[in-house]
A = this chain, B = another copy of it.
Amino acid sequence: MSTTTLTVPVTVAEHQACPATVVLRRAGEKWPGLILSLLRDRSYGYNELDRAVEGLSRRVLTRTLRTLERDGLVSRTVHEGRPPRVEYALTGLGRSLQEQLRALALWAVEHDGEIRAARARFDGA
C-alpha cells in the first residue's frame, strides 16, 4: 500500500503552481463541471451542447471545450460529411475527474442544509 504525502504549499508561487490548486480552480469555474457532467452519460456535438446548456454563450462554450481538451479531459473528434459534426466525449482521465467532482457534488447536496442553517445563524447575529 502506498502513502501519498500532500504537503501544503504556503507561498503564493507554490500554491499557484500546485496541481491541486489548478484542478480546483478549473473545477470551480462556472461551466466545466456542468460540461463534464453532461458528457458523463454520452457524447455531444457542439451545437447540441450549446442547446443543452441554456445561458452558456458560444464564446465561453468554445473556450471551455478547448481548455478541457487541452488538459486531456475531453476528446474532440471531427466527423466529415454533410453536415459536418464534431463530437465531444470524456476521456478516461476526464471520466476519472468527473467521478471525483461528483463525490464533491454529492457532499454538497448532502450538507446543503447545514450550510444554509449556518448562514441563517450568521446573518441573524
Q: Which of A's residues lie within 8 Å of B, judged by CB?
A: 4, 6, 8-12, 15, 18-30, 33-34, 37-38, 52-56, 69-73, 93, 96-97, 100-112, 114-115, 117-119, 121-123
Contact B28 A26 (CB under 8 A): yes
Contact of A20 among B6, B12, B20, B104 (CB under 8 A): B104
Q: State the majority secondary structure of interface residues on A.
A: helix
Contact B24 A108 (CB under 8 A): yes
Task: With A70-B122, A70-B123 as known contacts, state yes or no: A9 contacts B24, CB within 8 Å.
Answer: no
Task: With A28-B29, A115-B93 as known contacts, state yes or no: A104 contacts B72, CB within 8 Å.
Answer: no
A98 to B118 Cα, complex, angstroms: 17
Contact A8 B37 (CB under 8 A): yes
Min Cβ gap A85→B in Å is 21
CB-CB under 8 A from A52, the residues of chain B are 10
Given A15-B30, A20-B106, A20-B109, 18 additional A-B pairs, CB 8 A: A6-B109, A9-B34, A10-B34, A10-B54, A18-B108, A20-B108, A21-B33, A23-B104, A23-B115, A24-B28, A24-B33, A70-B118, A70-B119, A70-B122, A71-B119, A72-B114, A72-B118, A101-B104
